[in-house]
Structure 1
Amino acid sequence: MTKLDQFAASRPRLLGLAYRMLGEAAEAEDVVQDAYLRWRDSGEVDVPEAWLTKVVTNLCLNRLTSARARRERYVGVWLPEPVLTGDGALGPLETVEQRESLSFGMLLLLERLTPPERAAFVLREAFGYGHREIAGILDVQEAHARQLYRRARAHVGDPRRRFTATPEEATKLFERFLAAASRGDVAGLERLLAEDVVSWADGGGKGPAASRPITGRLQVLRFVNGLARRFLKEEAEAVIGTVNGGPAMIVRHRGALIAVTVPEFADGRITVLRTITNPDKLALMAARPL
């Protein structure tokens, strides 16, 4: 197997790692490309997977500091960059931990962690690395790697407690939401929204977005109805796709991607809606077919 073949086989896993570390798809693509250039120019490597994982992790750690500085200057609410995940481009999503580690809810929780804590958590939860392996990747003692993971886990909690709906159940719930919104079915929407539902929107100063979160069933219901009427008037098309490991509403107007809404569920109802309208964050996703 050539070096190019070896890298191609590892690329989905490396891209999945970089995206979970950064929450930005375009940045993750850049990191993986940089890793490839280093891999291409490297000498003989005994364990390619370990070498590539370490390189990608460290490239991400170097970028996280500047990324946080950019987010402090960001206009309005910052949300992760949405990514299509139905094609396996970010590696397998076979377990609860793998899916949850790609969810918007988890990616936002990971923003609370220090870069080393984030690396330890992602490597352990999403990729199943042992503490000794993580220590080698981060160049720390095994005891320190364990401590990093424990601190991270204390901040984000247990993913299995939050992932209350299977992918199939979540998709059916959101399909019902989209159908009710399209029909203007207020009663149907009300049944699907939790009483304390919250709607967040990220326009980055470039796309339409509320400047602050909309809270409560009644307020979110009015917002969703207004949005649905606007999309119908503009003859926009909304479909359900697989984004960040779960269902999402993907809205296009005259073929152009204009919005992605990612829900969160609990007890059979929608508890959070997160909508991205910033065209910069939609560019990479817009370039790929559904």
Structure 2
Amino acid sequence: MVQHIPVLLNQTLEGLAIKPDGRYWDGTFGGGGHSGEILSRLNNDGRLLATDRDAVAEERAGRFSEDARFSFQRGTIQVMTEEVAAPLDGFLWDLGTSMMQLKDPERGFSFKDDGPLDMRMDRRQETTAADLVNEMLEEDLANLIYKYGEDRLSRRIARQVVMARQQTRIETTRELAECCKRAYPKKHHRIDPATRTFQALRIAVNDELDQVSDPLPKAVAKLGVGGRAVIISFHSLEDRIVKHCFRELAANGPYRIVTKKPLVADEQEARENPASRSAKLRVLERMPDGWTAKRKGGRYE
């Protein structure tokens, strides 16, 4: 079993400001690292609902099955936001791909190990990364890689993909990674040529951005007074959505942005857990009705 090390753990727990008898939701259970620490801070009256779209996460949640304070439901953030009961004292979304997904070649998330080109977080859905790579028009594939991967060589990558699939269907992560490599100039690269393409396909396959932008305001609305939303993102597209959503909510409702700048891993965590290096954490707090945000703080009206 792949060891799961939760990112920004201390910042997450501080951001949630956990009440021992509070009601919390971990919307991205993953390996359960964050959930385990939240449970350790709850008394017998506290409750934690954990959710995840991945069947492997559901299996891992079994270790808490005897804990009356804990419950698990399988589903996407978007679906579960509609079902979570209010008021919440806090919720956590740790966005992106978990280490247990990245380290399993059969899931097809990583270009470092060869495996089927899959990338589905929920394997009940039909469309895989291989379907997109082999069936999209060249222009549409290039636009997807540019939009979600922000790769300036997206058109060259799409051309290499189309040339390769004319010979035979692209089915593995290694085959796609080779297409990306051929599209890049033959020189040293700061990151692997496949990095942004794999990110773009993963986002598209799992509808990751809509899984943040659509439900986030609805989830925040379920916070009770003093309740906090803690969101961890791993790339600029997700972080931008969270930042703008929090700003809009704080400008128009009884909400306070706790983190004026996103929290990031310190040197020790970044060294010990490389997955944390790109993580950014933002916190929003629900204030009493009548509270209005001002440039130098907040006040009641």
Could you say which TM-score interval applies, normalised by the shorter chain? under 0.3
Between structures 1 and 2, the one with greater helix share: 1
TM-score, length of structure 1 as denominator length: 0.26
TM-score, length of structure 2 as denominator length: 0.25
